[in-house]
Amino acid sequence: MKNTTRILILILSSCVTVPLIVTLGITLFQTGKPVDLRASPPEKQISLLEKSLSQHQTVFLSPEYYPALPARVLNSLPSSLEAATATTNITSFYRLNRERHFSLLILGTLPASTALVRELIDSPLWILSDVSPWGYILSPNLPNTSKNMRWSPPSSEVLTQEYRDITKRTEWLIATAENLISIRRMSDAEEFLKSASATGKCSTSLLAAQASLAASQGRWNDALTHAREAYHADSRNTAAAEILIRALTECGHPDEALNVARKLTEHVANQETLFLLARAANASNSKTEEIEALRSLVKMARKQHQLLGASLTYLGQAYAKNGERGEAMRSFEEAISQPELTQQQRALLKHLIDHLKPDEVIPPKN
């Protein structure tokens, strides 16, 4: 096996080549246990980060990595609040970059992180250096940047060499394709899924990824077909359930979407699944259930020290729709205090609060 500690140090020194992040994946498959490839961040990758961050002082890590890192490592990084704010607000990211001059970005697979990746790779200032089931690596696009720094899909020969087990290779292809879909690299994702399909392995995961691709391209009927098949094959497949909920909602089946969302959150309650439950409840006009899902989402975000602005805004809207004027105003007022909101967003929320305030009673003239 290759020296993965040395490889990550090379990554953190901006010396990225196409197969390197593939090699990082090998360490995860040697546990002998089934793993969720898109779980972010994997334990062994964090261990390598901990050993290697001291080699490179200008790294930006997305906030999902922070809870797993010890304080002595975090001292050299932006605070968790700075990282979270920068991940959700591109202006804050560039402000932090001007202070820190990041020479490498390591971003995970949570929605806020992938949204930041999409914004940055559309900019001429950053280039995508690697994609894997565990996230993304971006590097500054400098005049002397080597063309080898730009990510390109690994050849089938490289993947076969790195993953001789066909099932593990298929898992890598599918999970990486899902991350490519998240950053709108559709043609690359399609090629990866074609390669995965040719192996005849991991059929349920493949169907879920094909559903995700179809949904991202606006082909909702195709997404629904693939997601139904995947969900019926394995109703505990989280990715299949999530896409099925979205597809059912988009295709006009809100009640069925709500039933699937309820079952999903019974065994997987996280920010993504709770938001999907709230969305399905909204589409099905189940106002109380929407509010309860959003309240649980806000509670979870508080506990995990996550940003609250968006969740509180959605909760305020749900309260307002349900005629709970006071709760709506309190949610909007707390949302305004959140650091990640822009001035324009704060102004809009203030306008909503003014709209919700009871009309002043004009005293009668004597």
- What confidence tens digit (pLDDT) does each residue in 261-308 have? 999 999 999 989 999 999 999 999 999 999 999 999 999 999 887 889
Q: Are residues 99 and 15 in the same domain?
A: yes
Q: Are residues 211 and 148 in the same domain?
A: no
Question: pLDDT at residue 45 above 80?
Answer: no
Does an H or E element contain 139, and which? Answer: strand 135-140
* 310, part of any domain: yes
Q: Are residues 241 and 186 in the same domain?
A: yes
CA atoms within 13 A on the CB side of 251: 20
Q: Are residues 115 and 190 in the same domain?
A: no
Q: Are residues 146 and 223 in the same domain?
A: no
- What confidence tens digit (pLDDT) does each residue in 103-153 have? 889 899 888 899 999 999 999 999 999 999 988 989 899 887 666 688 999
* Domain termination residue (choose one: 126, 152, 178): 152
The per-residue pLDDT of the chain, averaged, comes to: 83
Signed CA dihedral, 7, 9, 12, 15: sign only: negative
Region class of 69: left (phi > 0), else alpha (psi between -120 and 50), else beta:
beta
What whole-number distance in Å separates Cα of residue 305 and Cα of residue 311? 13
Unique residue bearing structure tokens 């997404």: 223
Q: Are residues 32 and 121 in the same domain?
A: yes
Please give the model's pTM, rounded to 2 decimal places.
0.75
Per-residue model confidence (pLDDT) at position 187: 96
* 263, part of any domain: no
Range of the domain at 340: 269-356
What whole-number distance in Å separates Cα of residue 265 and Cα of residue 300? 13
* Domain termination residue (choose one: 152, 173, 196): 152
Per-residue model confidence (pLDDT) at position 64: 84
Closest CA to 280 of 245, 320, 239: 245
- What confidence tens digit (pLDDT) does each residue in 95-104 have? 999 999 998 8
Q: Are residues 121 and 172 in the same domain?
A: no
* CATH code of the domain in which 279 resides: 1.25.40.10
Per-residue model confidence (pLDDT) at position 16: 33
Per-residue model confidence (pLDDT) at position 305: 78
* 259, part of any domain: no
User: Number of folded domains in the chain?
Assistant: 3
DSSP string, 297-312: HHHHHHHTT---HHHH
Per-residue model confidence (pLDDT) at position 111: 85
Residue 296 CB neighbour total at 10 angstroms: 17
Residue 136: strand pairing partners: 107, 131
Question: pLDDT at residue 49 above 50?
Answer: yes
Q: Are strands 135-140 and 59-61 parallel, antiparallel or unpaired?
A: unpaired
What whole-number distance in Å separates Cα of residue 95 and Cα of residue 105? 15
